[in-house]
Amino acid sequence: MSDAAVLFEERASGAGKRIGIATLNSEKTLNALTFNMVQLLLDKLRQWQADNSIACVFIQGAGPKALCAGGDVQQLYRSAVEQPGGPCVNAEAFFALEYRMDYLLHTYAKPIICWGHGIVMGGGLGILAGCSHRIVTEKTRMAMPEVTIALYPDVGGSWFLNRMPGRVGLFLALTAAQMNGPDCIYTGIADRFIASCHQENILAGLCDLQWRDDSEQHSQQITHLLRGFEKKSTEVKPQGNVAEHYDAIQQLTDQDGFYQIVDAITSLETDDSWLQRASAGLAHGSPITANNIYQALQKTLHMSLAEVFQFELMLVTNIVRHPEFAEGVRALLIDKDKNPRWQYASVRDVPRQLMADMVTPPWPSNPLADIAA
């Protein structure tokens, strides 16, 4: 196996076409995204999009454990602590490049299949959510745990969270609640549940296809192929959690305001282990992040996809410049004492002015101003 950050392969297929395969190749870090990985993937995606011989793209992660566990948060942490309170040059450049890649995935001119096996969090979720054919397996474990490190469910989270059933997106973002494969399909993040044993068979099937004339027909051919494998996968399909808890989620989030929603979730008394973990996730998370999640979902509700990514870059830039982020990463991933010293004791203590500052552009021009041009 090559030590390249991303592995690229092209396999011959029918009608003179080829399949482009991209493998995130950092198994030891659960394929956590670095600036170099994102740049390599972005460049190759652009190349394949312009290459008429490429029928479709297949994205996967190296190893059996993860598509991608997120961005390289420790690298982002170093950028934040080296430049406290000011521009975190490396972190901000990473986010700008990552969002540019995610936007390309959402708007790609060819079908992209994403193999969402194992851990899919943070930046991995951003990749999966943007693809046209999104597969999850019996081992998929997905979450948006940013509230635990004082970041924010970015990478288009403001787009797909607002489009989940009811107020499920708000609940998942606030609580870092975990989802399995069926949950991902229920919430609209994924399209197909396919047993992990079929991965190579799917790639072989793609290579056997006799491709037709255009990308729309290619997409239909892929859908037909995947549907057959999905039908063979029902026996290993686990029971979902989100649909089962939909009514409880709606009740908990049906309050007079944000503070009351937090009160309802954190004071919940239940024997249900999934809800217990969700309640604890919010109770121990960053009060600043919880406020940011709520206000961001409100402000982006009617934005276009491009506007969402531009908004998220503004917000995440302000977040990494604030010391709360570095403290969250320190407690969870650096010192691992799991005892973050949050700046405010509760969501009510977070100043309104701070929240206004978080959604105030920190630069004269948004670095993603051109993405919808």
Longest dimension (CA), the chain: 63
Residue 184: per-residue pLDDT:
98
Q: How far is CA 238 from the centre of its chain?
A: 22
Dihedral sign computed on CA atoms, order 195, 198, 203, 207: negative
Residue 1: per-residue pLDDT:
57
Give the CA distances from residue 307 to residues 184, 296, 339, 350, 355, in Å, rounded to whole numbers and listed in that order. 24, 12, 35, 26, 19
The pTM (predicted TM-score) of the whole model is 0.96
Q: Are 168 and 187 in contact (CB under 8 A)?
A: yes
Residue 270: per-residue pLDDT:
97
Helical ranges in the chain per DSSP H: 35-50, 73-82, 89-106, 123-130, 157-161, 168-175, 181-187, 199-208, 215-231, 246-253, 258-266, 273-283, 287-299, 305-321, 323-329, 352-358
Contacts of 338 (CB under 8 A, 6+ apart): 331, 332
Q: Are 215 and 159 in contact (CB under 8 A)?
A: no
Residue 78: per-residue pLDDT:
87
Measured from the Cβ of residue 224, the count of other Cβ atoms closer than 10 Å reads 11
Residue 109: per-residue pLDDT:
97
Reference 10, options 57, 52, 46; nearest CA is 57
Tell me the C-alpha distance between 151 and 38, whole Å.
Answer: 19
Per residue of the chain (373 residues), give pLDDT as tens.
578 999 999 999 999 999 999 999 999 999 999 999 999 999 999 999 999 999 999 999 999 999 999 998 888 888 888 877 777 888 999 999 999 999 999 999 999 999 999 999 999 999 999 999 999 999 999 999 999 999 999 999 999 999 999 999 999 999 999 999 999 999 999 999 999 999 999 999 999 999 998 889 999 999 999 999 999 999 999 999 999 999 999 999 999 999 999 999 999 999 999 999 999 999 999 999 999 999 999 999 999 999 999 999 999 999 999 999 999 999 998 999 999 999 999 999 999 999 999 999 999 999 999 998 6
Residue that the structure tokens 């606030």 belong to: 174
Tell me the C-alpha distance between 289 and 154, whole Å.
Answer: 12
Residue type, 221: Q
**Could you tell me the fold of the domain covering 6-358?**
2-enoyl-CoA Hydratase; Chain A, domain 1 (3.90.226)
